[in-house]
Chains A and B, each alone.
Chain A
Amino acid sequence: MNKVVWGLVLLLIVLHQDVWFWTDERLVFGFLPIGLAWHMGISIGASITWFLATKYCWPADDDTQATAGGAA
């Protein structure tokens, strides 16, 4: 799963460079420029990917609690 999540991060970076909508003037639902709509999708995709990262790639010792003033 770890590799899948990091693969999704890379995929998002690739999809971010959406040359296919570069000069597309269409409006989604009649008001949202398609380039903007695509990048809103990237934002939602990022949130989902980071949710998966926190679920499957979170460091094993994640229950560490703070001590007042740090340990030093």
Chain B
Amino acid sequence: MIQLWIIGGYLALLLLLGFGASRFGRGTSSDYMLASHSIGPILLLLSLFGTTMTAFALVGSTGEAFKRGVGVYGMLASSSGIIHSLCFFVLGVPLWKLGQKYGYRTQVQFFRDRLDSDRIGLVLFPVLVALVIPYLLIGVMSAGLFINVVTQGRVVAGDEGPTVQNATFAEGTFPSFLESGYATEAGSKGGVPRHLASLVICGVVLTYVFFGGMRGTAWANGFQTMVFMVLGLVMFYILTQKLGGESGFFANLQKLSASIPPEKLTRSGISTSKFLTYMFVPLSVGMFPHLFQHWLTAKSANSFKLAVVVHPIFIMIVWVPCILLGVWAAGALVNVPPPIAAEPNKVLAFMVKSTGMPVLAGLLTAGVLAAIMSSLDSQFLCLGTMFTEDVMLHYGGRDRYTDAQHIWTARAFIIAIVALTYFFSLFDPRGVFTLGVWCFSGFASLFPLALAAVYWRGLTKWGAYATVLTAIGTWFYLFRASGYADDEAYAIPVTLGETTFEVMPVAVMVLASTVAMLVVSFITPKPKAETLAKFFPGSV
């Protein structure tokens, strides 16, 4: 029960932060959506990092390392250190400047203006929203799962079926549809039911985004990023000491690593071509709509410098402990029971719980929730901003609504999106890592469009339509072919000569969208001279 009080206290603290931020707000839509462009280097670093690190980085990476070994770090963490900063540098800074110059609040506004096409918004808006929803789903689902696992009791087999010992809640405390069979495989096992925990997390994030807007989100992100980084390191230290059983930290590190199964020490189970094509996945950062909005909050172009430089190191600080915990869990010193091993998303929560220290379990759960919520908030706010700016104000007329109506519409759309995401989370949970990779792959396939819009004069609106439609078309076709992420090892075989290479779907998507963009842009009418003069003033 102690861990529940700690989790509750942490959530209450976040609510206070949201209310506090709302008192500093200026009451304008610009302040609600972009914090009046007042975010300095440190808060920008923390909020950009907190937004890009989610359940995927903590829960997903530990589970995936448990399953596939240390190669997971190279597949996504070290590559992200190179590619994320590249995106901040080559896209973030120029887009921030254009946003400043022309007053953009959303990606769709930029693309409408840059491509001189009103209707590009009709194609881009639903695609971006559809791709953000799986990303939200990862967070909502993982938060529920994590809270459930750390508050569960121990299931003991008996003559009259399984029973639960040391349960936080007795059977019948919650309605049976939430307990889902209580002591059964899919049951709540005496913990907070998964769906209830997810609902509480949605409610908390919704509340502080609702009241605090972008200022509240940036503050909460900064605070939560510090919380999950510090608690992550504390968790790593304590788990190392507990699992190793020796007195010295270094001796425990060595003892635990000596227990790693040989196949998890290497990348023998990962094909070199698949590893190489994973490099395309982090390109998604260039097209995340919530990150675009965060970029626009910067106080100055110089504010980006710290984020560009420190982001790879922060990724390392968060991911390395998680990867080590994952591969240690695969060894003989950590006895992961088969039901947990069958669901790698639960491995980290199981390890935290296995310390037998409820205070620690509560604090560490708060750390994991911090990572999850620091992404959810930006995504919720961004979708609200997109709806009001790109649909309501764009089609309804900017002068028809007051600033207050503007903010309230954003809030109403945020509630609708949270409800929709929560509804999807009630279904069969997919692997966090796999779902994350699919979501990121969709955004990555739109990266060529962002890059060309900033740097290529030859991009035409028809080329942009072709890029978006090809990207979403190939994404849906391949996602369906993978059984909607059911086949976690899904890859595309490419035969060159007598050798067949496994290629990640993202590589095919990026290639297809790039070819579509180039071919269609070359054969369709060039953009107007005044549009080019507006976006490429030095080269006309």
Contact = CB atoms under 8 A, between A and B. Distances in A.
A70 B73 CA distance: 39
Nearest to B300: A65
A65 B302 CA distance: 9
Interface string B307-318: 011111101100
Say which size band chain B's interface belongs to: 35 or more
A22 B305 CA distance: 34
A36 B68 CA distance: 13
Given A47-B81, A53-B89, A63-B301, A23 B37 contact: no
Contact of A9 (B28, B86, B93, B305): B86
Nearest to B297: A66
A19 B268 CA distance: 10
B279 A22 contact: no
Contact of B100 (A35, A62, A67): A67
B99 interface: yes
Contacts of B93: 59
B82 A66 contact: no
A65 B299 contact: yes
Contacts of A1: none
B482 interface: no
Contacts of B82: 9, 12-13, 16, 42, 46, 49
Interface string A6-42: 0001001100111101111101001111011001101
B267 A36 contact: no
B147 interface: no
Contact of B37 (A16, A49, A70): A70
Interface in A47-72: 47, 49-51, 53-54, 58-59, 61-72
A36 B261 CA distance: 15
A3 to B, nearest CB: 15
B37 A39 contact: no
A44 B267 CA distance: 21
B79 interface: yes
Contact of A44 (B275, B296, B316): B316
A72 B300 CA distance: 17
B38 interface: yes
Contacts of A49: 82
A40 B36 CA distance: 37
Nearest to A58: B305
B272 interface: yes
Nearest to A51: B309
B438 to A, nearest CB: 22
A50 B268 contact: no
Given A36-B70, A62-B301, A43 B37 contact: no
B85 A50 contact: yes
Say which size band chain A's interface belongs to: 35 or more
A69 B34 CA distance: 8
A47 B74 contact: no
Contacts of A65: 299-300
B327 interface: yes
Given A35-B266, A43-B81, A66 B70 contact: no
A66 B254 contact: no
B113 to A, nearest CB: 10
Nearest to A17: B276
Contact of A40 (B30, B37, B265, B320): B320
A59 B301 contact: yes
B9 to A, nearest CB: 34
B16 to A, nearest CB: 27
Contacts of B99: 70
Given A30-B254, A50-B312, A53-B308, A39 B77 contact: yes
A66 B300 contact: yes
B298 interface: yes
Given A36-B70, A39-B73, A70-B99, A47 B301 contact: no
B78 A46 contact: yes
Contact of A69 (B36, B81, B85): B36
B260 interface: yes
A45 to B, nearest CB: 8
A68 B296 CA distance: 11
A12 to B, nearest CB: 5
A43 B268 contact: no
Contacts of B272: 17, 19, 22
Contacts of B94: 59
Nearest to A71: B101
For the complex of A and B, list the 10 residue pairs with the smallest distance between their C-beta atoms, beginning with the closest.
A72-B103, A66-B37, A70-B103, A31-B253, A31-B257, A46-B312, A39-B78, A69-B30, A43-B316, A46-B81
28 contacts: A9-B82, A16-B74, A18-B74, A25-B262, A25-B265, A27-B257, A35-B266, A36-B324, A39-B73, A42-B82, A43-B316, A44-B312, A46-B312, A47-B81, A47-B312, A50-B89, A54-B89, A59-B94, A59-B301, A64-B100, A65-B300, A68-B30, A69-B34, A70-B30, A70-B102, A72-B101, A72-B102, A72-B104
Interface of A: 9, 12-13, 16-19, 21-25, 27, 30-33, 35-36, 39-40, 42-44, 46-47, 49-51, 53-54, 58-59, 61-72
